[in-house]
Amino acid sequence: MPRKGSGTAVLNPEIQEFVDAVEIENLDSLYRIFRRIEVARVALQTRKSHLAKQVVCPECAERFGPERAIWVPNKAIKSCPHCTQCGRNIAIYLEFNKEDREEGKPKSKKLPDICPHCGGKICKEASFIPAPKEDLHVERFLPEFTVLEDGIRSVLEERVKEHPLWTTWAKDVKGMGPATLGRIMGMCDIKRLTSVTKMWTHSRFGLKDGQTQRSVKGKPDDFDRQLRSAFHLLGISLMMQQGAYYDFYLMQRERAEKLGLSKGHAHNRARFEMLKLVASHIWRKWREVEGLPTPMPYVIEYLGHRDYIPPENCTGENFKGFVSLPETPESIRARREADAKRAAAQAALVDLEEETA
């Protein structure tokens, strides 16, 4: 019997048979199927929205014909791009702004009446007539891709709900849904992510040369962009539901504001810390249910830090706070070594400043 998804989604029997053959251990394969269908559906949906926003300038429709005159307004070009014969409206606008800057004048607010290149009239009026179009390809396949996407998402959610990570922990996290968790799990090979630092690096929450990861022109990314987008969606859900992770976000935001950061900067930093904490908890609980080693974070294992937030403290409505780990001879030794290295680095910096002075 075909499996029903959200709405009226019904999977094709052949697709249903293939999906049923995918085991929980191959959740990444199921996610890749879902992702490809989702990308195709979004492309068709964007095309449909673009066609619905098309307008036509009456004057240009008479001069050039309705086909060439149809266009979609955007932030860069708000006037009709066809009202000059050479089609250089945006270039003219930038050229006049450059002349204004050289002469010390304020930025030009309007385009000139006549194009200085071709002598054609430049349209300034918003007298545009809606001219939406229909694409037979979009009208034919968009409904089918929507139904198929809903069906695959339903199967993905069912597989996630059967996974021990969901049943033992994630189902109690307010704001974490099976679809979003399935996206994250589908893009991670937990057996290869042997430390939480590798999980952070894979999700673009890591540090590189003392700064957060960034894309470098001409070099491949060392993180997964789609995975970071999935965490961004998870962050929106966690903040909307206002559970335990939201309490942690508020605590971090208040701390950042006390340091003198602006509201926007404090928000971004607090959200980053919240998502980094979520990523570490997903990594730890997932490794635990798979029976894999779960070493403590670097700052605890090698720098002697004792404050720790276990995943169980971020379930339910309220954040249950930090846990102070007991002191061990290894932690005391690690903290002393870290303090000695920090003091040596500060002394070296002072010596360098004195030499340069």
What confidence tens digit (pLDDT) does each residue in 77-117 have? 667 777 776 666 666 666 666 766 677 766 665 666 777 76
Q: Which residue has the higher pLDDT, 332 or 155?
A: 155
> What is the mean pLDDT of the segment spanning 113-141?
79
* Distant-in-sequence, close-in-space partners of 280: CB < 8 Å, separation ≥ 6: 196, 199, 200, 297
d(CA 3, CA 22): 15
Q: Is the pLDDT confidence value at 7 over 50?
A: no
Contacts of 216 (CB under 8 A, 6+ apart): none
Q: Note the pLDDT tens digit of each residue in 164-191.
A: 999 999 999 999 999 999 999 989 989 9
Percent of the chain with pLDDT over 70: 78
Residue 286 reports pLDDT greater than 90: yes
- Is it the case that residue 162 has pLDDT exceeding 60? yes
The confidence score (pLDDT) of residue 134 equals 86
At residue 87, the pLDDT reads 60
pLDDT band, residue 24 (cuts 50/70/90): very low
E-only strand ranges, 163-317:
207-208, 211-212, 307-308
Q: What is the pLDDT of residue 343?
A: 75
pLDDT above 90 for 20 = no
> What is the reported pLDDT for 208?
81
Vertex 26, ends 21 and 30: CA angle to 5°? 70
Condensed to tens digits (0 to 9), the pLDDT of residues 287-340 reads 999 999 888 887 777 776 778 888 999 998 898 888 877 777 766 676 677 677
Whole-number average pLDDT of the chain: 81
Pull the structure tokens for residue 134: 């229909």
How confident is the model at residue 246, as a pLDDT? 94
Are residues 115 and 84 in contact, defined by beta-carbon separation less than 8 angstroms?
A: yes
Which residues lie closer than 8 Å to 104 by C-beta, 6 or more apart?
Answer: none
| Local confidence band at 352 (pLDDT 50, 70, 90 cut-offs) | confident
| 18: pLDDT strictly greater than 70 | no
Least confident span in 27-36, 54-63, 118-127: 118-127
Instruction: Report residue 5's pLDDT band, with 50, 70 and 90 as the boundaries.
Output: very low
Length of the chain: 357
- Picking from 257, 343, 347, 332, the residue whose alpha carbon sits closest to that of residue 302 is 332
- Kindly report, residue by residue over 188-236, the tens digit of the pLDDT: 989 999 999 999 999 999 888 778 888 888 888 888 999 999 999 999 9
pLDDT recorded at residue 347:
77
pLDDT at 170: 92
pLDDT tier, 2 (very low <50, low <70, confident <90, very high otherwise)? very low
The alpha carbon of residue 346 and the mean position of all alpha carbons in its chain are separated, in whole angstroms, by 37
In the block, tokens 């098309």 appear at 54
Q: Residue 288: its pLDDT value, please?
A: 92
